[in-house]
Structure 1
Amino acid sequence: MAKERFKKEPVALGDLMRQASQRLGLGRNQEHNLVFQAWENIFPEKYRTRMHPTRFYSGCLSVAVSSAPLLEEMRCYRQSDFLALLNDELSRLNHQSTVVVRKLDYRRN
């Protein structure tokens, strides 16, 4: 019996890309691990004890912050600095990866 070469149903391009990226080891879990590892590498201990990343989705990293003053400091004064540091660290950790953090979303926990 001959093997069927083509599927009869069309497949969305997004599904094909997702399958290919998972086969290459570029799934969401690896993206999360890279972003969280970069976070641990760049943030000083005094910040890591009072805030931590909770979620990474569509280029937005959500961060839980334990105090209101720190939340305001991060939103108003430090956001662009830490965003640049985080993306520099991501490119240093994995040169083949296209993972980029576009936004930091700080939330009070």
Structure 2
Amino acid sequence: MLSGYFQGIGACGEVIVSTYQSETEDFLDHKKTGMLELVSLMGNISMDDSGSPLLHSHASFSYLNDTDEPAIIGGHLTKATVLYTAEITIVPVNNEIGRMIDPLTGINVWKFNH
């Protein structure tokens, strides 16, 4: 498998999701611990310039806040520790998806080989 995409659900005990800050061109991390339901995981697998796999994923987690009301945290998935289970499906694609820096935004985006 050279490239692909994945999706999943499950339960985690600790996560770090990040929000990209265009002003600083960096990510702001948000850490959460406790019983976290992995409501949605979506991402892709592409190849970096050296030919190594590069994962890019976003996720949403639900949890009970301090007043036992449901709350959501989500964003770019930086780290997740599975607590009970994670059901993740990986689907390969036939073509390699590469990466390149977009000169306008400076963001690492998909590069398709034609």
Task: Indicate the TM-score class for this superposition, using the shorter chain for normalisation.
Answer: under 0.3
More strand by share: 2
More helix by share: 1
Structure whose CA Rg is larger:
1
**TM-score, length basis structure 2:** 0.24
**TM-score, length basis structure 1:** 0.24
